[in-house]
A and B are shown apart, each in its own frame.
Chain A
Amino acid sequence: MSVPVSIPGTLLKSKASGSAVYKTVAVVGPPNAGKTTLFNRLTGLRQRVGNFPGVTVEHHTGSFRLSSGEEVSLIDLPGVYSLNPKSEDEKVTIDVLNGEMPGAERPDAIILVLDSNNLNRHLVLAGRVIALGLPTLVLLNMADELHKQGGRIDVLPLARQLGTPVALVSAATGDGLQAVANFLVATPQTPEPLELPIFGDPRHCREWAVRMGSKADYRRGATPEWTRRLDSIFLHKLWGGVIFSVVIVAVFQTIFSVGQPASDLLQKVLDHVGIQLANALPSGLLNSLVVNGVWKGAGSVLVFLPQILLLFLVIGILEDSGYLARAAVISDKVMAKVGLNGKSFIPLLSAYGCAVPAIMATRTIENKRDRIATILIAPFMTCSARLPVYTMVIAAFIPNRPVLGPMVGTRAIAMLSLYVLGFAMAVATARALKSSILRSRDVAFIMELPPYRWPLWKSLSLRLMDRAKAFLFRAGTVILGVSILLWALTYLPMHNGQPPAIADSAISKIGHFIEPAIRPLGFNWKIGVGLLSSFAAREVIIATMGTLHGVDPESHAMALQEALKSDLSPAGAIALLVFFAFAMQCMSTMAVVQRETNSWKWPILQFLYMTTVAYVAAFVAYRITLLYWN
């Protein structure tokens, strides 16, 4: 039997020439086995994210190029511990492997990625996967760690027992990965496995796995000493909590102290290009459309890209290093007080960047009710789209006076209170949900703590690319569309080829129509139009106000902050801030909630709830502020 085997540390010349035997290959493996690292290494930029129809499980597809130039398509399936159709992830894996998933080609072969440091557990999955009967390559990953920690294994006897090729590899360093190419071009051989486990009884499955391991002279490495040492600090009774708080503060400090200057710089560049555009184009309707409609609209959103990417970079580092799992353990006690568990902490932290990836990250929460509760409260976290609105309104209305020394002024406190406000409402909502419609009896918090590892730049950068693409797509579609529509509404109805005065435009009609509804909050019709447009995405209100004042001769020359003072009283400004803290104004979030919960009930309920809360709270804030500050 020819088995592609690799010896780590030595460079085996790949004999992979000739054409691929398998065209579609599924990558399967348990969580934390380095499956995604392997997939990224094999496919690099030749990958994309997809969703199978009707299920909420996300997967990546990519292509792996052989030395002959031929491409093999790889499907990265969700991490699974076993093949039990009760869990959604595992059901998807089974369906794809059996060719029963609509929209996905049946794979010709399987690459099974296992952690060589945890074979006694992971080989159980190998038994189940091999029993499916597809040609399988078993990769024992993280060989570098196994050897460093004094472990060992002989792959040949294991391959003989399993009846499949087995290779010891390290996806992080790339050692041994030529086994993949060898497997894909080798003539398929189907030796029968000598013995597969009897499924059903976990005890027997494990005994089988241990027996397989002992045939291969398997010895597990010791848990890395530094993981234990780090845990004795990070999970320390006292220091654990202190370090946790420092990490969270540092995350936000980084976003503001590094991200803000980067955004400011980008803003300057965009403004400059806008001026060049305005000069280059002949003045008239087209000039106005491009400069006021397209550039100002999309540009006002584009400037947040640095801050959003930075947030995802920091969260990615925390996640890949293994600290986020510890953070979940530390926050569990607090989360338990509102009826949730530590697993909700990770999505809620990401929600400070953007609720969309946060809601996708709730998939790790096994309890369905906890997961829905987390999805429902995530948009209360102060996402980066609220930031520009807060910054603009605070700068326009709140005078900056030092409160606690020169560093902490009234504006910083105002900003901080808005963060607290969103968080407090999330907590209150979680409590209400978990003690009523989403009450659950069994709250199991089971968190695997992987060893600490250095994050890989390649994995991080691929994820950042995904985020950047999603963000630019939104700026290029939803926000651009709304900007152009608004611009058009300010130019209609035309009289003798001339645009109307702003007071006679279609947009003014719409604004005045909704004005009675928002007057109790202290908003005029322009703010009303801004609010309407912000239901597409929060930050659009800035673009809208820019357009409305840009076409209005009275405020044309004024900076937007100054112009805003003609629309709002200070009490109205406070009401606007409170409204933004609570309202559900994001089509992308609603779409992702619909997709993840697989029903329209939750996004609609969430929209009605958040908007009602926002309206009532803004009204109360307006009334109270009127008493003290006019």
Chain B
Amino acid sequence: MVFNFMKVLRKDKNPTLCDLAVGESGILEDFDMPQTTAEHLMNLGFVPGLEVLVARSGPGGNPRVYRVDGTEVALRRDLSRCIGVRPLRDAEAEMR
């Protein structure tokens, strides 16, 4: 569980929300998208620094449902690929 470095520390690019599997969580970092979309996400609780959990995957794996700040929000994979996260390892996630 602690040894999933391949997934966490990918060299080519920073990990995004899309890279997390169902049940995994991470800390929101940055948004690479138009300003209005980012603002809308922040209004729904996607604020940098907060923890986000991949709650479930919809039929066909897309969109997926994320739990953040007490609410659940569905996002398509192509949008979740534009949201940078710092993945939390299981132990760390349990501590929080």
Contacts and interface: CB of A to CB of B under 8 A. Distances in A.
The judgment on whether A and B are partners is yes
Interface of A: 30, 81-82, 84, 86-87, 117-118, 120-121, 202-203, 206, 220, 223, 231-232, 235-238, 240-241, 328-330, 332-333, 336, 341-342, 366, 442-449
A117 B69 CA distance: 10
Given A232-B56, A237-B59, A449 B73 contact: yes
A60 B58 CA distance: 35
B65 A442 contact: no
B36 A203 contact: no
Contact of A448 (B36, B39, B42, B71): B71
Nearest to A227: B72
Contact of A342 (B34, B39, B57, B63): B63
A80 B43 CA distance: 9
Interface in B21-66: 33-34, 36-37, 39-45, 47-50, 56-63, 65
Nearest to A119: B70
Contact of B59 (A203, A231, A240): A240
Contacts of B65: 231, 235, 329, 449
B79 to A, nearest CB: 5
B33 A332 contact: no
Contacts of A241: 59
B76 interface: yes
A366 B38 CA distance: 13
Nearest to A242: B59
B8 interface: no
Given A330-B59, A446-B74, 18 more contacts: A118-B70, A202-B39, A203-B49, A206-B47, A223-B70, A235-B56, A240-B58, A240-B59, A329-B58, A332-B63, A442-B37, A444-B37, A445-B79, A447-B75, A448-B73, A449-B71, A449-B72, A449-B74
A228 to B, nearest CB: 8
Contacts of B39: 82, 84, 86, 202
Contacts of B63: 329, 332-333, 342, 445, 447
A117 B60 CA distance: 31
Among A86, A203, A206, A235, chain B packs the most CB atoms within 10 A around the CB of A235
A112 to B, nearest CB: 16
B41 A238 contact: no
A236 to B, nearest CB: 7
Contacts of B41: 446
A336 B70 CA distance: 28
B71 A118 contact: yes
Contacts of B37: 442, 444, 446
Among B47, B59, B67, B69, chain A packs the most CB atoms within 10 A around the CB of B59
Contacts of B73: 446-449
B44 A446 contact: yes
A143 to B, nearest CB: 16
Contact of A333 (B47, B50, B62, B71): B62
B70 A445 contact: no
A328 B74 CA distance: 10
B56 A86 contact: no
Contacts of A206: 47, 50
A444 B83 CA distance: 12
Contacts of B50: 206
A235 B34 CA distance: 29
Nearest to A84: B39
B59 A120 contact: no
A630 B17 CA distance: 62
A65 B77 CA distance: 50
A603 B31 CA distance: 37
A87 B50 CA distance: 25
B7 to A, nearest CB: 22
A241 B58 CA distance: 9
27 contacts: A86-B36, A87-B36, A118-B70, A118-B71, A120-B69, A121-B44, A121-B70, A202-B48, A203-B47, A231-B56, A235-B59, A237-B58, A240-B58, A241-B59, A329-B58, A330-B59, A333-B59, A336-B76, A342-B63, A442-B34, A443-B76, A444-B33, A445-B63, A445-B76, A446-B40, A446-B44, A448-B71
Contacts of A202: 39, 42, 47-48
Nearest to B44: A448
Given A235-B58, A238-B59, A449-B65, A332 B76 contact: yes
Nearest to A32: B71
Contacts of A336: 76
Contact of B74 (A30, A120, A366, A445): A445
B89 to A, nearest CB: 24
A118 B47 CA distance: 14
A445 B75 contact: yes
Given A81-B44, A235-B65, A332 B79 contact: no
Contacts of B71: 118, 121, 448-449
Contacts of A341: 76
Nearest to A151: B70
Contacts of A366: 36, 40
Which A-B residue pairs are the 9 nearest by beta carbons? Answer: A81-B43, A447-B74, A202-B42, A449-B72, A329-B74, A240-B59, A445-B76, A241-B59, A444-B37
A274 B59 CA distance: 53
A332 B72 CA distance: 16
Nearest to B42: A202
A341 B47 CA distance: 24
A208 to B, nearest CB: 12
Nearest to B39: A84
A594 B48 CA distance: 40
B38 to A, nearest CB: 9
A449 B71 CA distance: 7
Contacts of A444: 33, 37, 40, 76, 79
Contacts of A342: 63, 74
Nearest to A447: B74
Among B37, B62, B67, B72, chain A packs the most CB atoms within 10 A around the CB of B72
A30 B44 CA distance: 10
Contacts of A223: 67, 70, 72
B75 A446 contact: yes
Among B39, B48, B70, B79, chain A packs the most CB atoms within 10 A around the CB of B70
A333 B58 CA distance: 9
Contacts of A87: 36
Among A232, A341, A446, chain B packs the most CB atoms within 10 A around the CB of A446
Given A235-B56, A235-B65, A82 B70 contact: no
A30 B48 CA distance: 21
